[in-house]
Amino acid sequence: MLDVAALTAALPRWCAAMHDAMAELNALDGRLGDADLGVTLDKCATLVEQALPDMPDTLEGVFKRCAQATAKASGSSFGTLLTVALMTGAKRCAGTTSLGRTDLAELLTDIVHVLSARGGAALGDKTVLDGLQAIAQALATAPQDAALRPAARQAARDALDAFRDKPNRMGRARMFADKTIGLDDPGMVALQRMVDAV
């Protein structure tokens, strides 16, 4: 279950993980694109940290405040997608005090649809959407009493394994699709670091 206390408590861990992952994500991104994924998320984390002292006390408010922070950080594509995902979270959580397992799965599915419409990627293109979809599915089908964090982490890992040997079909990585076979998608790795942390 996700409520505002759990979400607020997870934010510093998320920020720390993004700082820690900066070099790794830059290096991964540099093999396919412009090597700024780590920098982008590091900036997002710094601005979220600055917003921590005055976080609102609703799920909607926290998602919105985080979206405002990440929107200020960067216009890089992954940063923008993160902002759009957080805005979707805010909209869906309006008037809600907690999200259960199926609510979270539905929220993630919504986010996949919104990001696909905004960014132009489809499921199967080997992007962060495939990782999000895998987590949504894992949560939707998990047993009632299952621990959700381990299920989400495992789903993100499984998605990385499943897509490693497929070609990227989106973004800069698309241009040399065959060379991406065997390489992890940097956005999917970023998602893995996020779910591992929170």
Q: Which residues bind another protein (CB under 8 A)?
A: 26-27, 30, 33-36, 38-40, 43, 71-81, 83-84, 118-120, 171-172, 174-176, 179
Question: How far is it, in rounded angstroms, from Cα 79 to Cα 141?
Answer: 29
| Neighbouring C-alpha atoms within 13 Å toward the C-beta of 145 | 0
Say how far apart CA 30 and CA 159 lie, in whole Å.
21
Residue among 131 and 171 whose Cβ is closer to another protein: 171
Of 12, 21, 13, 8, residue with least CA distance to 193: 21
List phi, psi (to 5°) of 152: -65, -40
- CB of 39 or CB of 156, closer to another protein: 39
Kindly tell me which of 102 and 176 has the beta carbon lying closer to another protein: 176
Q: Closer to another protein at the Cβ: 145 or 178?
A: 178
Report the nearest approach of another protein to the CB of residue 9 (Å): 28
Least distance (Å) between residue 16 CB and another protein: 19
Alpha helix (H) residue ranges in the chain: 4-20, 22-30, 37-51, 59-73, 77-92, 101-119, 128-141, 148-163, 186-197
Q: How far is the CB of 129 from another protein (least distance, A)?
A: 13
Q: How far is the CB of 149 from another protein (least distance, A)?
A: 30
Q: How far is the CB of 116 from another protein (least distance, A)?
A: 12
- Residue whose CB is less far from another protein, 35 or 55: 35
